Amino acid sequence: SGIFTNIVAKWPGSTHDSFISTDSVIGQQLQTQARTLEDGLLLGDSGYPCRPFLMTPYLNPSSAQQEAFNRAHTKTCVAIEQTFGWWKRRFHLLHSEIRMTPEKACILIGACTTLHNIAILRNEPMDGLDDTEDRPELTQYCGPEDGKAVRDYICDRFF
């Protein structure tokens, strides 16, 4: 629906999303508390490690099921990227460097998030919904990936 449910605004813009995720309260809870598939999962691009609670796409899909998983994953991630695009379009302040103290920048980002959510809830119109300009450059994660068994289970069971 385009609603933000959690935002961490304490790191500068050049900080990688996966670090912010790991450092956040939600990220720490997900890493330390056992979860089931019924609790839900997070989706991440190839810049994230595949974890039991964080699904990433197959880098080299080797079956029709893995390709179907990747298509569903991509389709869902597009909705997330669109939300960031709408948010940035609503508030031009978010398009570039915020030249204020970090404390003020955090307050403004939080305010923009709250106002965006209110606009979504009130069905405020959005002009210019081309989201291609806001897509970040992705880099591939290299490191331990202990969620591959969960991803394979999901792929085999649902695709």
Q: Which helix (H) or strand (E) segment is 77 a member of?
A: helix 64-90
Residue type, 24: S
Angle between helices 64-90 and 102-121 (to 10 degrees): 110
Q: Is the separation of the CB atoms in 35 and 147 below 8 Å?
A: no
Which pLDDT value is given to residue 71? 93
The single residue listed with the structure tokens 């290299």 is: 142
As a whole number of angstroms, the distance between CA 107 and CA 101 comes to 10
Question: 131 pLDDT band (50/70/90 cuts)?
Answer: very low
List of residues 6+ apart from 111 with CB closer than 8 A: none
Ranges of beta strands (E only) in the chain are 42-43, 54-55
Which pLDDT value is given to residue 81? 85
The single residue listed with the structure tokens 């598939």 is: 37
The more confident residue out of 142 and 62 is 62
Which pLDDT value is given to residue 13? 63
